[in-house]
Structure 1
Amino acid sequence: MAQYDVTYACGHVKTVDLYGKTSERERKIEWMEGNCLCPACYKAEQQAKAKVLDLPALTGTPKQVAWAEALRNEVFERLEFEKLAKGKNPTDEFLAWLKDQTESRFWIDNKGGSIALLEKKWKNKKEETKLEGTPKQVAWAEKIREELTAVVEENMGQEWFGLNALDLETSAATIISYHTDYRGRFDDLLKVLAEKAKEM
């Protein structure tokens, strides 16, 4: 590792740590100087785009927020492109749902996802059954259901029938039990979800 003073495309100079062979470091410096804004200018640019798009502030660590802002702006720019170039008009309800995603983690977890995939997530969320339990249980269970759904989709695919057992479950306590009883036993959890889905 070595430190280098890089003059970014915006004209600001910042000291950065670079790794690898000298030739690779030199190539990276050349690319950064010709193509990148300094971190402060980049952050300001992303915040300005968010303001133009009327997007709320994101929550998370400063690093997460900076990354998530760029990812979110990219999604809204793609939406605008699809609207102008392909005549696709997203519903106001879908746009409102996207704007309501203020956790940086949402945008990071969905990086590279298509608009169609985000629309599917929105529709699935709409169709999820309301959970019963105390407000604290419901809040915890909703978070668990969202996390479990993401893990199951990643491993089994979005069309896996067992996801119905998560989407249609009405008991917050049952969702919480999936988290507590099957921690570290993912295969067993999949069997339980599959059996429950067959009964529905």
Structure 2
Amino acid sequence: LALALALLAAPARADGGAAAAEEVKIEVLHLPESCSPKSKKGDLLNAHYDGFLASNGSKFYCSRTQNDGHPKWFVLGVGQVIKGLDIAMMNMCPGEKRKVVIPPSLAYGQQGYAQGKIPPNATLIFEIELYAVNKGPRSVEAFHQIDKDSDKKLSQLEISQYLKEEFARDGKKRHPSVHDEILADIFKKNDHDGDGYISAKEYNVYQHDEL
């Protein structure tokens, strides 16, 4: 369901990006001799990372203790991780390790998180190891896979059929209402002109010239 999740994710806002990037401090701990490909917005990344509070060095998160120790998969630049990590992991290649310092404004801000594990206004430190950089679920190939009639727009029927195929592939039993809720949410967040279709432009938050 990677594509469905990416379509559900609201596109990341571009405003203030340059100023925000200056606030994230990045230290490269290890750089492979061959550093390619480099990550960009919309790529599907596979990584492990540990999170620490800058104030006292205590660890609040370790991806190696989640999901049976498997690295995490997420799409870069669409808000599936905190904004500071989206910024910190740009232009990173497989095998690279980084230590990054993220200010509260690009982390959990005044609210904090995880029932006090991350207090309000906390500066965070992450140690990141990147394993893979793949084409993201909003790739040109994914669009053409769903666009069965090749009219450069995705209808509710086309996306509905895609969701049914993905549900069948993962084999989990779901109430029919789950399909309807996901479909409705996809169009609510992506059909910006309300015409009942997701156009190539609306889908194309990652700026693919091929579309």
Q: Report the TM-score range of the alignment, normalised by the length of the smaller protein.
A: under 0.3
TM-score (norm 1): 0.25
Name the larger-Rg structure.
1
Name the structure, 1 or 2, with higher relative contact order (CA <8 Å, separation 6+).
2
Q: Which has the higher helix share?
A: 1
TM-score (norm 2): 0.24
